[in-house]
Amino acid sequence: MQNSKAAELIYDWNQVDVQHCYPKRPVELNDESLRDGLQSPSVTDPQIEDKIKILHLMEDLGIHSLNIGLPGAGPRAVNDVTKLAREIADQRMKIKPNCAARTLRQDIQPIIDISQQTGIAIEVATFIGSSPIRQYAEDWEPNMMLRRTEEAVSFAVSHHLDVMYVTEDTIRAHPDTIRSLYTTAINCGARRVCVCDTVGHATPSGAYNLVRFIKEVIRDTGEEVKVDWHGHCDRGLAVSNTLAAYLAGADRVHGTALGIGERVGNTQMDLLLINLKLLGVIDNDLSRLDEYCKVVSQACRVPIPNNYPVVGRDAFRTATGVHAAAVIKAEKKGETWLADLVYSGVPAAMVGRAQEIEIGPMSGESNVKYWLERRKIDPDRQVVGRIMEAAKKSDRLLTNEEIYALLNEPRA
C-alpha cells in the first residue's frame, strides 16, 4: 500500500488468513525474453543493439538473471550470446547470465568457449524432455535419458560451470521418472533444477504439488539445490501458477516481457513483477517497467494490446462517468495516491504512469470539465454542453483533435 491511510481504506481479502502462504521469502527472477521469448512464431529476433538495451532494462528492474540464448543454434546465436556476455562483464552488471543447451556436448561446448572468451561465469541450463508422451514420441528409453543427463551435467561441471538441470514437461512426468532424473543430475553436480510446465498444462494446485514433490526429492539427496519454475500460458494461468510455485518453495521463477514465447507464450515477467511487489515479496523500482515492455514490443515487433494489464494503452484510462467522477473527487482531496487507487488495483505511479480521463458516450459532465481544466480552458456551460452533445452521439471516445475542433466552433 502507498501509506497507512490507504491501508485503513482498503480491506485486503488477499491477506486474510494467508500470511503463512505469502512469506516475505526472497525470490529470484530469471528473464527468458531473449531465448524462450524468441521462439514465438510471431516475433522478430532483435538486433544485438536492441538486445543490449533490453539487457540494461532488466538490470534496472532488479531482475537477477537472464537466459542470453542457445549458442548451439548456430553462428548468429553464438555471436549475440558472446556480445551479451561481454556487455555484462564489461559493465560489471549484477545480472547473471545463463544459456540453454540440450543434454549434448555439442550444445554445451559453445557455452564453455564463450565463458572463457568473455571471462564471465555462465550457468548452463541443460534440458531434456521428461514426460511419458514425449518419451513415446521420441522413442526414448529411460536408460538413455539418464545417460545423457549424467554426461551433460558432468561435462559442464568438469569445466567449472554451474548447472541448472531442466526437465521439459515436468508437469506431466511420472514421479519415478522425475526422481531418477533429478537424483542423477544432482549426484553429477547440478546445484539448481528447473521444473517446467512446457505446454501450459498446469493449474495452481498442480504447480504447487509438483514443486513440493521436487523439494522432497532434493531433501532425499542431502544436497543444497535450488528450484526454479518455468511456466507457459496455454490455459491463461501462467502468473497464477508461478505464484503457486513460489508459495511451494521455488527459489527462482522465470518469465518473459509481455509473455512472448512458444505458442501463446510464457509467464509475463512484467505482470509477475507487479504481483510480487503488490504482495510485498519484492521491493524493486518498477518505474521503467513500461519502457522495458515497449522496447521489447518494438524490437520483437509484438504489439501491446490496448487492454493489456499495467502497460497497455487503456490500463489507467477511463471515460466512464462514474469511474471518472470518483477519480476527480479523489484528486480534489489533494492526495495523488487516493486518485491512483480509488478505481485501480495497481497504482499507476508504481510504473511511472498516471490516471487518464477521456470523453466518450458513457461520460458525464465531470469528464468534460476535468479535461478542460487540465488544459486550463474555462469549462463554461455552453462549451461543456457542446462537447457532451457530441460525445453522446459518438460510438467511441472523442479524440483530442475533435474536442479542440468543438472548442473553436462559434457560440450561438
Among 300, 326, 358, the domain boundary falls at: 300
Residue 1 lies in a domain: no
DSSP codes of every residue in 189-241: T--EEEEEETTS---HHHHHHHHHHHHHHHHHHTS--EEEEEEB-TTS-HHHH
Q: What is the pLDDT of residue 51?
A: 98
Residue 412 lies in a domain: no
Same domain, 340 and 294: no
Q: For residue range 76-115, what is the model confidence (pLDDT) as tens digits?
A: 999 999 999 999 999 999 999 999 999 999 999 999 999 9
Residue 109 lies in a domain: yes
Q: Find, among 262, 214, 210, the residue nearest to 241 by Cα.
A: 210
Q: Which three cell numbers stand for residue 4?
A: 497507512
| φ, ψ for residue 317, nearest 5 deg | -125, 135
CATH number at residue 205: 3.20.20.70
**What percent of the chain is predicted at pLDDT more than 70?**
97
Spatial distance between the Cα atoms of 107 and 54, rounded to a whole number of angstroms: 25
Same domain, 126 and 194: yes
Q: What is the pLDDT of residue 410?
A: 52
Q: For residue range 159-218, what is the model confidence (pLDDT) as tens digits?
A: 999 999 999 999 999 999 999 999 999 999 999 999 999 999 999 999 999 999 999 999
Residue 37's Cβ-side half-sphere holds a number of Cα atoms within 13 Å equal to 30
Spatial distance between the Cα atoms of 274 and 282, rounded to a whole number of angstroms: 9
Same domain, 55 and 187: yes
> What is the enclosing helix (H) or strand (E) of 87?
helix 75-90
C-alpha dist (Å) from residue 412 to 1, 372, 377, 405 = 50, 20, 19, 15
Q: Going by C-beta distance under 8 Å and a sequence separation of 6 or more, which residues neighbour residue 291?
A: 57
DSSP state for residue 261 in the 8-state scheme: S
Spatial distance between the Cα atoms of 168 and 224, rounded to a whole number of angstroms: 22
> What is the enclosing helix (H) or strand (E) of 177?
helix 175-187
Q: What is the pLDDT of residue 258?
A: 98
Q: Which three cell numbers stand for residue 393?
A: 452521439
Residue 409 scores a pLDDT above 90: no
Same domain, 182 and 213: yes
Residue 312 lies in a domain: no
What is the maximal distance between C-alpha atoms in the chain?
88
Average pLDDT over residues 255-279: 97
Same domain, 296 and 321: no
Residue 340 lies in a domain: yes
Residue 9 lies in a domain: no
Q: How many domains does the chain have?
A: 2
Q: For residue range 6-64, what is the model confidence (pLDDT) as tens digits?
A: 778 888 777 776 545 667 789 999 999 999 999 999 999 999 999 999 999 999 999 99
Confidence of residue 411 (pLDDT cuts 50, 70, 90): very low
Q: Which three cell numbers stand for residue 380?
A: 463554461
Same domain, 296 and 340: no
**What percent of the chain is predicted at pLDDT more than 90?**
82
Residue 8 lies in a domain: no
Residue 145 scores a pLDDT above 80: yes
Q: What is the pLDDT of residue 412?
A: 44
Same domain, 152 and 219: yes
Among 258, 275, 300, the domain boundary falls at: 300
Average pLDDT over residues 273-287: 95
Among 245, 270, 300, the domain boundary falls at: 300
Same domain, 46 and 162: yes
Domain that holds residue 195: 19-300
| φ, ψ for residue 99, nearest 5 deg | -135, 145
Same domain, 184 and 72: yes
Confirm if 199 and 164 have CB atoms less than 8 A apart. no
> What is the enclosing helix (H) or strand (E) of 128?
strand 123-129
Same domain, 270 and 364: no
Residue 342 scores a pLDDT above 90: no
Averaged pLDDT of the chain: 93
Same domain, 291 and 357: no
Same domain, 64 and 179: yes
Residue 3 lies in a domain: no
